[in-house]
Amino acid sequence: MFRAPMAGFLAWLVPGLGHIYVGQRARGWVCLVTITATFWTGVAIGGVQTTVDPHERTLWFLAQLCTGGNAGAAYALHCAADPARSADGGSTIAAHWLSTDVAIHYTGVAGLLNLLVILDALARADRPTTISRIRRRRPRGVT
């Protein structure tokens, strides 16, 4: 009864986890590795301060939110990072606009790809599993 909502929620929380939940392990791992790598590559390119910014880039942030836990972790990092100083002691961490552009596209596309994965997990959760299909096909007593 709660299979489809649970698969959707898990797919949003961790990309690919919805597929793993409905028994599509290989598919889930491919989505998990690809989407997570794409998202964090974007954050590494643009820096967390300018890439994940709900006030400056609200619509892009909504797309990033589709990656669930990844976006949450990046936003927590955004809040924790000191906006006044860079890691190497510089006075600013503002990225070049080209870096920001590429970084936002990476993270936004990762979110939209996870939206596709969530919808696919929901669709697969509604289908009968392979085991139940085999059971239905075989009459009782036949091994």
CB within 8 A of 8, min separation 6: which ones? 18, 118, 121, 122, 125
Looking at the Cβ atoms of 127 and 135, the one nearer to other proteins is: 127
DSSP state of 78: H
Contact 78, 53 (CB under 8 A): yes
Site string for other proteins, 73-112 (x = CB under 8 A): -x--x---x----xxx----xxxx-xxxxxx-xx--xx--
Contact 110, 35 (CB under 8 A): yes
- Out of 116, 127, 130, 133, the residue judged to bind other proteins by CB under 8 A: 116
Q: Is 22 in the site for other proteins (CB under 8 A)?
A: no
Contact 71, 23 (CB under 8 A): no
Q: Is 26 in the site for other proteins (CB under 8 A)?
A: yes
Q: Is 70 in the site for other proteins (CB under 8 A)?
A: no
Looking at the Cβ atoms of 114 and 142, the one nearer to other proteins is: 114
Burial 84-105 (b: 16+ CB within 10 A, else e): eeeeeeeeebebeeeebebbbb
Contact residues toward other proteins (CB under 8 A) are 26-27, 30-31, 34-35, 37-38, 40-41, 43-50, 74, 77, 81, 86-88, 93-96, 98-103, 105-106, 109-110, 113, 116-117, 120
